[in-house]
Structure 1
Amino acid sequence: GNKVIVRVLVKPERRERESRAPLAVALVLDKSGSMASDGKMKNAKLGALEALKMLDPGDVATVVVYDDSARVAVRARPVGKGDKEPVFSRGIGRIQPSGMTALHDGVVLGAKQLEPFVKEGFIPRIVMLSDGVANVGPSTTRELASLGRKLARKEMTITTIGLGLDYNEDLMTALAAESGGNAYFARTSKMLRDIFARDMEDAVTLTARKVRVTLRGKGGARPERALGRVGRIEEDVVEVAIDNLYGSEKYALIELELPKGTPGTTLEAAEVLLEYVDPESGEKVVSKSPLTVAFTEDEGEVEKNRQPEIVSQAALARNAEIREEAIRLADEGKAKEAAMILSERTQQLRMLAPSVGSAAPMMRKESAAFDELAESLAAEGEFSNEDRKAVLNEAYIQKNQQTLVVMDDADDDPLLDDEDIDYDEDDDEYDEED
């Protein structure tokens, strides 16, 4: 059959900063003993102050810390002068590292601080930092993923920041993913200020929540799968959750199988439904549009209508899937197979680069990153701790189309700009975009 990749692009409406819904933010900081080393605690405090700088006086913030247990360092209150507000600067300044890591309790307490404000129409966000493995209270990836889902039902988004090389990246990624949050890997504590600022920049530019894309195949066309993001498919309908939309666009990519068509004809192949909640009014917005494809046997016509940007974005989504697959194989002791799929992808990306227009340099960078990973995996027989964290985080950033934190000393991070890439297997039609 013929396959096309459909991109449903969701663009934010630009809005005045003054008119946004107020935020309620919980900064949940690990203060266990290990935070005493490498300037971690100092930089975590600077990061928290940086986050407060980005908020408006009428927003609400709370600071929660956890070691053997969790406690409130600064009760939820209006941000006021932010990092210059004595109650915040003193509360954050007094934090001293010691003890264990009651990560679950920290998140739960942060959520509890925000709950009263959610009822008043504030938009809740938890930003959770940890440098270690949860070792007090519920501490498995499954338990934390379940907490993420529970808080998502209360409208809460959780951003996780894993610091250094001792935290559990599976747990931190699952917690963010289940609540539609961002996930960051801070190799060094020097990155924390930029990460906190970046995340608050997202928070203050929130333009849509609970974003859902539903594509219903028509005329014999059927959705095969969603690329990168999780797609729920039932018969000829696929539903993709994008969750939060910030200041930059996000998209869903769906592979659509088409029936055989007669050259020169068109087909209404799908109906696309976009639903989201306006964060300011709290109202649900729904829009529908048809998706039409044209059939042709003319190769030149196909080439002319191929959209390099969609090809590159689909490639990036595929890259995320391959990164996750490589981790799964390596974890099962199949390092050779993992190295092989990474090598294959290196070649595919090299061949793809000339056809993706302005995304070519990024494709080449991705190709080099896959090549390097394949080599070190083949040589070592497993991912290093740092590589595994980086690979998992890169996959998440690509799938979530999360904006990158660009560091001045960004140790040659094999990452993309903001979003991106793919392969295309249509033989006689072109990508349509809604």
Structure 2
Amino acid sequence: MTQDPAQFSPPGSRKKSLAAPARLPLPLLPTLLALSLLAALLAARPAAAALSFEGPEGAVNSLIELDRTAIPAGRPDQLYVIVRLRAPQDVADGERPRPPLNLALVLDRSGSMESKGKMDYLKAAARDLIDRLAPGDRLAIVEYDDRITVAAPSAPVRDRAALKRVIDGLEPRGSTNLAGGLLAGLHSVAAHYDSEAVNRVLLLSDGLANVGLTTTPEIRNALLRGTTRRLPVTTLGLGLDYNEDLMQDVAEYTGGAYHYIESPHQMADVFARELSALMDTVAGDMRLEFRPGGAVSNVTVFGYPSHRQGATTVIPLPDLYAGQERTITLRLDVAGQGQGSVSLGQLDLAYRDVKAEQPVHTSQALSVLATTERAVLDTALNREAKVEATLAEVESRHQQALEKAQAGRWDEAQADMAATARELEDVNQDLDDARLSDKMEALKVEEQQVGAAAAAPASASSKMFMKRSKNRLYQAYQGERGGYVLSPGDSGPQVEDLQNALSAAGLYTGPADGVFSPDLENAVRTYQTNNGLDTDGRAGPQTLNSLGLY
């Protein structure tokens, strides 16, 4: 029996499908104009094929989708591959104990930490983190200004009082040798590396690296030479004066995570959430590889750093935590093919199942049908995958606009955002997808903010705009788009900020607990009605901007 090449389902796999509209495919050029033309041809909505494969015991659920299961024969085309990775929440709820932690806490004690009570908040957050660790965990504490001090060498967390005395002894002084502190933290973790543990450096800074290695290429080269293995670094940028591009780059390059801490009082919550995530780590040392077939001439990866090893595109991925989802989008340039099955290549996913303490590797061959049959082409497009591909392209253009703004080309950045929003609006007239509407609203709000920032580029409000926008884009690139919209059921510091803002407006009387409750939804609706905004109970870009939170 010959298997339909569009189904991609190996024996024993579970097949999932998502609703997809039928439409006459056009070449999917990497422009919103092409996507808009394609969307305009939508008609019926039959199901499109999708593939899912799972690691042992469901440690990581993986869903692979193509935006189309068939392409027109005889002409070049582009296809999008959407890879969704999810660690079920119940993976962390089993009988197996959580993995031990091997951490280095690398703390900025430079002179700028004296302002706004930063050091006091840092001490409280670090003390709380120490209380949350178990005796079987390891912790090193590194302090840095222009000098580097391993204040507490890596050791099991048995004497919490001694560790807290180290924290209490921190006082602001000196300049910022960020690279030196980072390398000392990496060496502390590497010296006690445990393949069965979660190994991680937590790096906090509130200022620019101005001593030692200071540029991104220098620090990246130092990371490459500094240890024999790739160790994830969680970077935490505090306030408005640190280099967010450097902190994001370190996190991405090492497979860690990046957090923007806007206000010192948020430190304890961010530390606690990061530690909780580390304790719930399900998959580590994650890597996605795509080996293209002969029909694929180019591979573009959205949102994640990647590199080539020969013809293979390698995408190192951050650790995955229980309940976390991650989306990776690839764009494939496909040469014109004759009719029949076209091999696109092979996708390999490898990771370490932290709780089962075993490596996992799974592979999937991808292919697509090239045909001239209109009936097949009309039912080939997957709507859900198309929405994700559109968002990936839009976010790439959004990033380019921010880079222009950062370079002082404010007018160009504003014009690019306006044009992207208009084109996205055209696409969404046919797709009518809430995620595209949210992104369009975000672009319109940020277009206005770019104009305001251009008038005073060195102001605190301009710096805040850039950091907030880059942070939202960083999250969105990885498939986490909650930074654009807060909805009922959400939780975290952004929700707490929303609660405080609506409380100050006299519309919310509940606790500032960071949980988007029905009472908070009612307060949002009231605020929206009072201020002439769309009343939907969700705090989207316009509502957040009106409250000074976007």
Provide the TM-score with structure 2 as the length reference: 0.65
Q: What secondary structure, in the 3-state scheme, does the structure 2 residue paired with 1:136 have? A: coil
Residue 253 in structure 1 maps to residue 341 in structure 2: no
For structure 2, which runs of at least 5 residues remain unmatched after alignment? 1-75, 484-491, 502-538, 543-550
CA-to-aligned-CA distance 1:281-320 (integer Å, 9 cap, x gap): 76542211122434563499448x5232x33433443344
Question: Matches of residues 4-153 of structure 1 in structure 2 within 5 Å?
Answer: 4-12=79-87, 14-15=91-92, 16=94, 18-80=96-158, 85-118=160-193, 121-150=196-225, 153=228
For structure 1, which runs of at least 5 residues remain unmatched after alignment? 416-434
Could you tell me how far 1:140 is from its partner in structure 2? 2.4
AA aligned opposite 1:250: R
CA contact (8 A) 1:39 1:189 kept: yes
Could you tell me how far 1:356 is from its partner in structure 2? 6.2
Evaluate the alpha carbon distance shift between residue 324 and residue 92 of structure 1 in structure 2; reply closer, same or farther with a 3 A threshold: same
CA contact (8 A) 1:23 1:122 kept: yes
CA contact (8 A) 1:346 1:368 kept: yes
CA contact (8 A) 2:350 2:359 kept: yes
Distance in 2 (alpha carbons) for counterparts of 1:360 and 1:209: 32
Distance in 1 (alpha carbons) for counterparts of 2:138 and 2:327: 30
Distance in 2 (alpha carbons) for counterparts of 1:47 and 1:315: 40
CA-to-aligned-CA distance 1:222-250 (integer Å, 9 cap, x gap): 44311222343578643322242222132
AA aligned opposite 1:396: Y
Question: Matches of residues 110-259 of structure 1 in structure 2 within 5 Å?
Answer: 110-118=185-193, 121-150=196-225, 153-218=228-293, 220-232=295-307, 237-247=312-322, 248-259=324-335
Query: Which residue number corresponds to residue 388 of structure 2?
Result: 313
Evaluate the alpha carbon distance shift between residue 113 and residue 272 of structure 1 in structure 2; reply closer, same or farther with a 3 A threshold: closer
Query: Which residue number corresponds to residue 423 of structure 1?
Result: none
Could you tell me how far 1:125 is from its partner in structure 2? 0.8
Residue 297 in structure 1 maps to residue 374 in structure 2: yes
Could you tell me how far 1:41 is from its partner in structure 2? 0.9
CA contact (8 A) 1:229 1:399 kept: yes
Evaluate the alpha carbon distance shift between residue 364 and residue 334 of structure 1 in structure 2; reply closer, same or farther with a 3 A threshold: closer
CA-to-aligned-CA distance 1:20-42 (integer Å, 9 cap, x gap): 43211111111122211112111
Could you tell me how far 1:360 is from its partner in structure 2? 4.7
Query: Which residue number corresponds to residue 534 of structure 2?
Result: none
Distance in 1 (alpha carbons) for counterparts of 2:477 and 2:334: 25
CA contact (8 A) 1:350 1:367 kept: no
CA contact (8 A) 1:222 1:237 kept: no
Distance in 1 (alpha carbons) for counterparts of 2:125 and 2:86: 29
Distance in 2 (alpha carbons) for counterparts of 1:184 and 1:311: 29
CA contact (8 A) 1:151 1:157 kept: no
CA-to-aligned-CA distance 1:139-197 (integer Å, 9 cap, x gap): 22222222333457433111111111111223222222221111122121122122212
AA aligned opposite 1:314: A
CA contact (8 A) 1:211 1:274 kept: yes
Residue 359 in structure 1 maps to residue 359 in structure 2: no
Evaluate the alpha carbon distance shift between residue 135 and residue 377 of structure 1 in structure 2; reply closer, same or farther with a 3 A threshold: closer
Query: Which residue number corresponds to residue 370 of structure 1?
Result: 446
Considering only aligned residues, what root-mean-square deviation do their CA atoms show, in Å? 3.3
Bigger Cα displacement from structure 2, 362-371 vs 204-213: 362-371
Query: Which residue number corresponds to residue 426 of structure 1?
Result: none
Query: Which residue number corresponds to residue 423 of structure 2?
Result: 348
CA contact (8 A) 2:197 2:354 kept: no
Could you tell me how far 1:209 is from its partner in structure 2? 2.4
Could you tell me how far 1:202 is from its partner in structure 2? 2.6
Q: What secondary structure, in the 3-state scheme, does the structure 2 residue paired with 1:394 have? A: helix
Distance in 1 (alpha carbons) for counterparts of 2:478 and 2:193: 25
Evaluate the alpha carbon distance shift between residue 401 and residue 62 of structure 1 in structure 2; reply closer, same or farther with a 3 A threshold: farther
Evaluate the alpha carbon distance shift between residue 17 and residue 344 of structure 1 in structure 2; reply closer, same or farther with a 3 A threshold: farther
Q: What secondary structure, in the 3-state scheme, does the structure 1 residue paired with 2:234 have? A: strand
CA contact (8 A) 1:272 1:288 kept: yes
CA-to-aligned-CA distance 1:353-393 (integer Å, 9 cap, x gap): 56264535533443344333443356557892222222333
Distance in 2 (alpha carbons) for counterparts of 1:414 and 1:140: 33
Distance in 2 (alpha carbons) for counterparts of 1:218 and 1:75: 50
Evaluate the alpha carbon distance shift between residue 152 and residue 253 of structure 1 in structure 2; reply closer, same or farther with a 3 A threshold: farther
Corresponding residue pairs, total: 409
Bigger Cα displacement from structure 2, 176-185 vs 394-403: 394-403
AA aligned opposite 1:409: D
Residue 409 in structure 1 maps to residue 501 in structure 2: no
Evaluate the alpha carbon distance shift between residue 105 and residue 188 of structure 1 in structure 2; reply closer, same or farther with a 3 A threshold: same
Distance in 1 (alpha carbons) for counterparts of 2:332 and 2:428: 24
Could you tell me how far 1:344 is from its partner in structure 2? 1.6
Residue 398 in structure 1 maps to residue 502 in structure 2: no
AA aligned opposite 2:374: E
AA aligned opposite 1:375: G
AA aligned opposite 2:259: Y
Flag the structure with larger Rg. Answer: 2
CA contact (8 A) 2:295 2:343 kept: no
Residue 329 in structure 1 maps to residue 404 in structure 2: yes
Identity of aligned residues (%): 25
Q: What secondary structure, in the 3-state scheme, does the structure 2 residue paired with 1:114 have? A: helix
Could you tell me how far 1:346 is from its partner in structure 2? 2.0
Distance in 2 (alpha carbons) for counterparts of 1:349 and 1:357: 11
